[in-house]
Structure 1
Amino acid sequence: MAASPQPNATFLYPDFILTGIPGLGSIQAWLTLVFGPMYVLALLGNGALLAVVRTDSSLHQPMFLLLATLAATDLGLATSITPGLLVVLWRGPRLMPYAACLAQMFFVHALTAMESGVLLAMACDRAVAIGRPLHYPILVTKARVGYVVLVLALKAVAIVVPFPLLVARFEHFRAKTICHAYCAHMAVVELVVGNTQVNNLYGLGLSLAVSGVDILGITGSYGLIAHTVLQLPTREARTKAFGTCSSHICVILAFYVPGLFSYLTHRFGHHTVPKPMHILLSIIYLLLPPALNPLIYGARTKQIRDRLLESFTFRKSHV
């Protein structure tokens, strides 16, 4: 029988203390000059995308509705960690109430799962648009996009709810200090007094299942796209078809490449990659896509670029 925790050595449902990036000391304050502008860029860029899609009826099409969903998800993902992150980097360790920590854990992981699902939906949308262009208006409608977004949101909530619940079943923690910049699931689990095997297995299984299934779906969609495009008769037609997917490919790389590095270093690089690098990679994984996605779509999608330029020049002419 396991020995019961000693009252003077454990804490009952504690308010945690986030340390930021341990090992960097005062240097981490300078990181606010990197992550702060990234957050501002995410707010302005995704906010502008949402405003343009909402106000321009010509953009009320399935592809742009999925893009608006991605922008809303990016706003939520960046906001779920960045305000607190900037405080802890600039001012040092800060108190994080127990309930707020569990809430942040839920939103970070749920919005990450949601973003991955939206990227898969966008890949499928492009596959239908290129593979079956004549049937696209019938197969992909605004109503069906709405159902898909609802299903993705419900799925993200359902699969991530166990994270805070699996942590909440433990009453005692061996320390209050979380050596991290936000309440990541595994960073909190490390402080638990008790058998955390279920937490570890669920976290690993969920990462592999969600990312693995979505990546396989995206790969399959682009396999179909490549097969269709390579059969087009002219080089100009092939280039144009691939060009319609270029923005989405860039967004996929911005999301999954940092995520892959973060996952591999966390799972297999404990003894070779310093802990500050683990935390920096996890922050970049969450902040880089929301900051880059609006730039990618704004620069490479003609309809959005034109609407943004029209809006800017119209306002400027009335100043």
Structure 2
Amino acid sequence: MTDNTHNGSLISIGELSRRTGIPVRTIRFYCDEAILASRRTSGGHRMFDPTTAIDQLLQVRRLRALGLGLGPIVDILAGTVPLAQAVTAERSTLDTELAALTWRRAALLAIEHAPPAERATRVQLLATVQDRHRTHDSVVTFWRRMLTPLPPDIFDGFIEMNVPDPDPHHIVAYAELATLITDPALRVVMSRQLWRSDRTRIRHKQALLTGVARACESAAHLLRTNQRPRPGPELDQFVDAHASARGERDTPRFRRQLLTGATDSDHRIHRYWSLTSEVTGTITVGTALHWLYNALTQSVHPDDIPLVTNPFPCPNWDAAQPVSDR
């Protein structure tokens, strides 16, 4: 806009540059981007209100030094976005960038510290998890397909406890876990471990999963105190969940049926839950199911079926067992 009457109270772009230390070309850019208001003389020269323009330019320079983009700065100067909100958004963006850089650095260190003969393989492995969020979503999807009948709150609780969202120290284990879930055979054996039969024979799938989840919670309490697998209320709860879901009763015959074709000793299941325990540092559902499986074998064949050695890293309830799974 043109002002021929009040130019005496305004300053030129050169004077504004001298007072703020900001180059003339930068001030012109801010004017063109509507970040800074100016007036035009009849000759077309830009003029500025010294108080307003200096304050705005200094604010822009400070915010730019903190890394804020011009868009948020315009909103702050216009009063449409509070300063605190803009700063919080910028900090959140920075957190995301730092997490990505930390993850990338961990991958590079893992390759650097690998034995020379293993580096090429490790490069191939770690390349699969560089998009950390997509990898995590893949693991969630793996379980969502298997646990579809679960209510959202129970499923979310399972995800929180049993689906790793690891720190960089566990990037190699996490990469191997992410590779494991791409094997269709893992889903088959894991599903068999969970459902214990053809799913079409189960009348109440949600009730079964809910009951098994409760039984695993009970078993986890014993695992925390390193108690060896044994028949008891935890196992009864587990068997009752399966029996009720099929419209049957808990009998010796039914318990034998639960062991028919059991996949609990499958090396892929063991490896998956070992990696999960390594990353999460918690007692997983897999650990609890393994404990319940060994308790079930005792309740059916206490003298004929040996305990299967605990394949998971915590807790070591089977440290003294002489018999291992083959």
TM-score range, shorter chain: under 0.3
- The structure that is helix-richer by fraction is 1
| Structure number with bigger Rg | 2
TM-score, normalised on structure 1?
Answer: 0.25
- Higher relative contact order (Cα pairs below 8 Å, separated by 6+ residues): 1
